[in-house]
Chains A and B, each alone.
Chain A
Amino acid sequence: MTAEAKKEYEVIIIGGGPAGLSAGIYTSRARLSSLLIEMGVVGGRIADAELVENYPGFTEGISGTELGQLMQKQAAKYGLNIVTAEVTGLELKKDKKMVKTTKGDFNAKAVIIASGSERGKLNIPGENELAGRGVSYCATCDAPFFKEKPVAVVGGGNAAISEALHLAKFASKVIVIHRRNQLRATRIMEEKARAETRIEFLWDTVVEKIEGKDAVRRLKLRQVKTGKQSTLDTTGVFVSVGLKPSTDFLKGVLPLDKDGFIITNDQMETKIPGIFAAGDIRQHSPRQAITAAGDGATAAIFAEKFLEPIASATPISKV
């Protein structure tokens, strides 16, 4: 199941989040020999969520980590092989696809790409210089370092608000800085954040610079409507903006949109026959665990259909 994994499969799934694991449940139940390649631990981005309250079936909510583990357990039950490796490339051969990884090359007739997305950066001065010195991209990792200190969260989506709520358990004050005048996060998340006295909002505001010598001291802000500049003293800034697709290994192989996402049709097919994409990696994905799981199932079903004629096909002679 690990280093000794065999090299040839009917289906290879890249990525072990809800999309990849759902695909794996379906392909394994279809009795297709399937390998899932995950670079870290299973669960994908959902595993960052402290509590998932919108995945049907879990009335009291479930931790993202646990949800990921349950999906893995369910897939393993039907025989999905999982290997821990980084995918470094994808090569198209005549009748198969070669997935290159840090644990060697694996071949399959069909590939489902579910490699998801990673956090975006602000790309402003001070961000890289002070990374790990007050600039953080993971509130569940780093919140305990900011006990009773003021922190800022940049972003306005569900992930940003979830981080702000987590930080409010530790920090003295959490200031959410958002470039628009309303949140993108779901209403119920917004209600929770507004009910939390330690959370405050700075609307229509962007961070232009992060300042500090050895650690974050203050942020330089700009009000986007008035252009007025100001500063905010803080020891921590948690960046939760945008998500970057993990598609570097696909450059030159598969057509990507300008932001790097994969374009598919409603059967999760890409422009290349036998290559499917599912979850956050797809263009215009709503980036929810449940929609990713749905994508994974769809991709698996159409991968199975794609594989059918290969087994039995006889060349059609032209008249």
Chain B
Amino acid sequence: MSKPIEVDDTSFEKQVLESELPVLVDFWAPWCRPCLMAAPVLEELATEYAGKITFAKLDVDQNAQVAAKYNIMAIPNLIIFKEGKPASQIVGYKPKEELKKDLDAILK
């Protein structure tokens, strides 16, 4: 089982922007219930897409810099970064099948 990696303001550039694989970043916070709902789904997807897409999570409460840079005003908020740039964004809790469509589109 591959789990999402935790990234923060300091490690974001190296682990997300400079990554060779596309990286899905889950912007979340402990007070956000839909974020907690999304977490197990993202863990499953991290396993299913292992080797193709890296899954990461960033606590917006602890890492205001990155959250502000990407103008995060609602969570859960998933941004898929490809070659250092946001390529796709999903706001709000979405069921697994819908997320898979977005992930597959990125891999095309």
Contact = CB atoms under 8 A, between A and B. Distances in A.
A214 interface: yes
17 contacts: A40-B38, A47-B33, A84-B40, A86-B97, A88-B97, A132-B77, A133-B73, A133-B74, A137-B92, A138-B33, A140-B32, A141-B34, A142-B73, A144-B31, A145-B72, A145-B74, A215-B71
B93 interface: yes
Nearest to B73: A145
A84 B95 CA distance: 12
A102 interface: yes
Interface residues of A, number: 28
A140 B73 contact: no
Given A40-B93, A137-B92, A141-B31, A131 B74 contact: yes
Contacts of A138: 32-34, 74, 92
Contacts of A214: 71
B96 A86 contact: yes
B96 A140 contact: no
Going nearest first, the 6 A-B pairs with the smallest beta carbon separation are A132-B91, A40-B37, A141-B32, A132-B74, A145-B73, A142-B74
Interface of B: 29, 31-38, 40, 61, 71-77, 89, 91-93, 95-97
Nearest to A48: B33
Given A86-B97, A144-B29, A144-B61, A132 B35 contact: no
A136 interface: yes
Nearest to B39: A41
Contact of B33 (A88, A131, A134, A141): A141
B46 to A, nearest CB: 15
A133 B71 contact: yes
B6 to A, nearest CB: 20
A141 B89 CA distance: 17
B92 to A, nearest CB: 7
Interface string A115-145: 0000000000000000111111110111011
A82 to B, nearest CB: 13
Given A41-B36, A214-B71, 12 more contacts: A39-B37, A39-B95, A41-B37, A43-B33, A86-B96, A131-B92, A132-B74, A132-B77, A138-B32, A141-B31, A144-B61, A215-B71
A37 B48 CA distance: 22
Nearest to B31: A140
Contacts of A247: none
A119 to B, nearest CB: 9
